[in-house]
Amino acid sequence: MEQTARKGYGGRGWLLIAWIATAFLAYMVIGNYPLNILADLYGGQATLSTIYTVASIIGIVIQLALGNVIGKMKSIKKFGTIMGLLSILALLGIMLIPGYIPGTPQMIWRVVYGVGTVLSVMYGTFSLSILVGQWFPTRKGSVMGIATLAFPIGNGVIGAFAAAAFKGGSPHIASAFLPFLIILIVGWLIGVAFIPDYPEEKGGYRDNNPNMTPEMAKAMMEEEIENKKTTVWKLNHTLTTRDFWFLTVPAGFLLMFSVGTMTQTNAILGQMGEGLNKFGGFAGVMAMIMVFGLIGSFVLGMLDQKLGTKKSMIIASVIMLIAGLLGMISSPERPGLLVAALICLALFMGASSNYTVSLAAQYWRREDFSTVFAAVNPIANIINAL
């Protein structure tokens, strides 16, 4: 049989990347934007931070509960589709419910915000991440490196979102969210129309690697589906494996520092006062974060692909340490140190979401991936939720 080199990700593979990128954007827009920019309208940052944390923990509990059944689920694509539709409905509620009015409207809005945060976690960072592992088991690093470009882009446009939300000094919540709602709907429709659970279902190949006949690809898919039902990597076995923790805890720390900081950028940068003016103010710094985030997400994703997940995570952790040191010694008199810290943070921000998928796909068999990921992702996010 003639061996054909892998080229690109295939048409449907690119559509999958686009779909998960819009799901990651949903995760940011639903959970991050209200907390980071709109908190004063809905009861203050302490209140919204509490809701965000509780919602994250609920999402973690749900993922752990699904750990022993996810491998037997007939279609993770359908599960992701449902989570996506519900996330879109939750965003509509966040947009349209006047939660800035104290009393019943504000309480309803807070409930919708909490539920939406849970749904967006289950949508992008859980169900569609499993799809990536099923489509690209050995190329997950570069694929996630591209998909997670959504995180720096989402952070880069948060300044424009804030300007639109408070245009003319009064809140314009619905119009500020509208462009993101449209993007989320388009991404969801792409997934519904074009993406199956496995590429073989539409005549494609795992990793877009056509070094086998369609019959061989289909047989491999059917064998993998059957093996998932009898995998030994149930939740209790996974959680009692030492190496699972050595892999997952560092991934959790990377998520903790990237997500934890990026949900508070408005408050953190606000402490620098006018010192940020020479860097373009809040919008200018966020634009820099976007540029370096795009670079870091792609480069660390490629390093994940070329050098392996372990080495890529070590590099990201070193950058995280530098970011922490620079941020710790920054002050209003030395705002440049904080900007440098955030640039370092941007470099590993998007990539931090790569690693839960990458480590589960690299260190476990294809048929074990979904059940192991159902433990890796929530445990890493327990650390993140702190």
Intervals of the chain under pLDDT 50: 1-5
pLDDT per position as a tens digit, 195-229: 999 998 988 888 888 777 777 777 878 888 787 77
d(CA 217, CA 266): 49
- Measuring CA to CA, which residue among 119, 191, 86, 147 is closest to residue 294? 147
Phi, psi of 334 (to 5 degrees): -130, 65
Match 């509620």 to its residue by tokens: 93
Give the angle 22-48-267 at the CA atoms, nearest 5°.
85
Task: Calculate the CA dihedral of residues 49, 184, 142, 227 and round it to 10 degrees.
Answer: 90
In angstroms, the CA 234 to CA 178 distance is: 41
Tokens 């919602």 -> residue: 55
**102-158: pLDDT as tens digits:** 999 999 999 999 999 999 999 988 999 989 988 988 888 889 889 988 988 998 888
In a 10 Å sphere around its CB, with 0-12 CB exposed, 13-18 middle and 19+ buried, how is residue 116 labelled?
buried
Q: What is the pTM of this model?
A: 0.84
Report the DSSP beta bridge partners of residue 334. Answer: 331
Answer yes or no: are the C-beta atoms of 257 and 323 closer than 8 Å. Answer: yes
Question: Of 14, 3, 319, which Cα lies nearest the Cα of 142?
Answer: 14
Q: Please give the pLDDT value at position 70.
A: 81
Among residues 53, 51, 26, 24, which one has the least CA distance to residue 39? 51
Q: What is the pLDDT of residue 280?
A: 87
Q: Report CA-CA distances (Å) from 335 to 6, 58, 278, 328.
A: 46, 37, 10, 11
CA angle 25, 208, 229 (to 5 degrees): 80
CA dist 116 to 13, 33, 191, 256, Å?
Answer: 27, 12, 20, 20
Burial class (CB in 10 A: 0-12, 13-18, 19+), 369: buried
